[in-house]
Amino acid sequence: MFRRFLFASASLVLLAGCSGGGGSTPAPTPTPAPTNQPPRITSAASVSVLENEALSYQLTASDPEGSALTQSLGGEDAARFLLSGSGQLTFRELPDFEAPLDSNRDNIYNIRLTVSDGTSSTNLDLAVTVVDQADTIQLTRVASGFSDITAVSPAPPFGDLLIGQKAGQVYHLNGGNGAKSLLFTVDEIATDGERGLRGIAAAGDYVSQGQFFVSYIHRSGQLWVRRYQPDGLGGYVGWSTPTVAVPLEGSRNLGGSITYGEMSYLYVFVGDGERASNAQDLHNRSGKILRLAKNPDPYAGVTPVYFIAAPGNPYNGSNGDPYVIASGLRNPSGAFLSDLADGSMVFADQGSGTSDEINILRITQDIAGNFGWPYLEGSTVIASGGPSGSIGPVAELQRAASGRSIQGIVGGSIYTGTQASLRDHYLFADPVGGGVWSVPKSRLVVGESLKLDRIQHRAADLKPDVGTVGRIVAITRSASGVLFLADSAGQVFRIEP
């Protein structure tokens, strides 16, 4: 009886489960989400570009689902490029075949371009090859017939020059038609050894008053900086006393470069006079940068004093010479107020045999700065006990560098014209070996000392319209922005814009 009841109950349950034979439709299985497809890059995996020309490369990509894409840049040479949001790839600075910046210096820049849709990404390894081309620098000979040029300076307001010769002759040169005229000859000048006329700088009132400064070695052995002005009779007269005088013990390493800087201050770059220890003696003006200002009250004392130590100079007499603003130089040359940063002065310093230097004095940061000589030559320690925190050169030009060499240096200037291979380059020269070199101004960075193998040798690129170019002994940029070169043969050339 009990078994029949169980069986009947089970049958009822089974019949109920069948609902009379109809039944319900099972829930459908969800359709799986489509698999995300990665972006597709369709632009080329290699591109070539001529040196000194802009790169034109467009990264092109699409997404199968139509999703918005983002691009990014990586790889071993990524730091040399910029990638815009639209995928335009450009060099940070124009490439130079003779001074490559890729990681292994073979002029093939390897980067990785990545495109992402937010879920998946695709990479493209791109090779950018820089191709060599002729780097001709067109020159026009403006004048010839000078003898032993030692200084060239702009004569505002246009493209004229002041030319100084070792024996003391000072000329005015028309930078356009080459007309030259002798203004005067410095008197009481010593010319033995490296002595003689050392520098020229037009005064702040040159345009209205015709006044300028000349630095030279006086027969007393001192470096004199003397002011000259028209005498009203068609000639020039020098002030009876020097604007500043610096005793120099030797006949070499004299410096003497002079230039105007910010606030119409006069800067004087003095060599160590063959007494290396003087460069670190703050009470001695040798091996220093001096800064002078026009005296607002020159007749306050018993005798007139027309120039004084500039306001803001770091020393007051007890802790150092009031005229000094920086120390640690050996034989500076070619100083000029640059357009690298407000108030920065660029100059060269000739070494004793290890390295020559290109330096920057940042007026807002390097007051009381020390450039390290005689403890440092470039980054090489040549004597122990040097000062801490020395200002390193922006370029260290070793006398014997892998496949290249330099035997001396004369400071130059920055070309701002239109010749592509030289545009925005700092140009300088080796007056002994005849080399001419250039480097993009963007690479002149304090704390990042370039070596000679990263700087382009340009002597073979100079193409004069007449004659040949000798060893470059002076470089300057006129008030109108034109760069001029003077050579050992007494010629003056203009770099055509």
How do residues 7-19 score in pLDDT, each as one tens digit?
333 333 333 444 4
Using a 10 angstrom Cβ sphere, with 0-12 exposed, 13-18 middle and 19 or more buried, the burial of residue 41 is: buried
Which of 188, 320, 308, 332 lies closest to 259 in space, CA to CA? 332
Confidence of residue 24 (pLDDT cuts 50, 70, 90): low
Q: Return the number of other C-beta atoms located less than 10 Å from residue 432's C-beta.
A: 15
pLDDT at 13: 36
**155 to 237, 292, 480: CA distances (angstroms):** 18, 20, 10
Confidence of residue 401 (pLDDT cuts 50, 70, 90): low
Q: Which residues pair with 493 in a beta bridge?
A: 141, 485
Confidence of residue 404 (pLDDT cuts 50, 70, 90): low
pLDDT at 311: 95
pLDDT at 23: 56
Which of 487, 480, 482, 481 lies closest to 466 in space, CA to CA? 487
Higher pLDDT, 458 or 135: 458
Q: What is the DSSP letter of 109?
A: E
On whether the CB atoms of residues 227 and 237 are closer than 8 A, the answer is: no
Q: Do domains 40-131 and 137-495 have the same CATH topology?
A: no
On whether the CB atoms of residues 493 and 149 are closer than 8 A, the answer is: no
Confidence of residue 4 (pLDDT cuts 50, 70, 90): very low
Q: d(Cα 273, Cα 286) in Å, to the nearest integer?
A: 7
pLDDT at 429: 97
Above 70 in pLDDT, residue 373? Answer: yes
The b/e string for 141-158 (b: 16+ C-beta within 10 A; e otherwise) is bbbeebeebbbbbbbeee
Higher pLDDT, 402 or 368: 368
Q: d(Cα 374, Cα 329) in Å, to the nearest integer?
A: 8
pLDDT at 26: 74
Above 80 in pLDDT, residue 403? Answer: no
Kindly report the backbone phi and psi dihedral angles of residue 460, in degrees, each rounded to the nearest multiple of 5, phi listed first: -70, -15
Confidence of residue 204 (pLDDT cuts 50, 70, 90): confident
Kindly report the backbone phi and psi dihedral angles of residue 4, in degrees, each rounded to the nearest multiple of 5, phi listed first: -65, -35
pLDDT at 2: 39
- Could you give the percent of the chain with pLDDT greater than 70? 94
DSSP secondary structure letters along 263-314: GG-EEEEE--TT-GGGGG-TTS-TTSEEEEEE-S-TTSSSS---EEEPTT-S
Which listed CATH number (2.60.40.60, 3.40.710.10, 1.20.1630.10, 3.20.20.80) goes with 40-131? 2.60.40.60
pLDDT at 341: 66
Q: d(Cα 316, Cα 310) in Å, to the nearest integer?
A: 11
Above 60 in pLDDT, residue 82? Answer: yes
H or E segment at 209? helix 206-209
Query: Regarding the domain delimited by 137-495, which CATH topology (the fold level of the hierarchy) does it fall under?
Result: Neuraminidase (2.120.10)
Domain boundaries, the chain: 40-131, 137-495
What's the token pair of residue 13?
Answer: 């349950």
Three-state SS for 286-300 is CCCEEEEEECCCCCC
pLDDT at 259: 96
* Mean of the per-residue pLDDT values of the chain: 91
Q: d(Cα 26, Cα 274) in Å, to the nearest integer?
A: 103
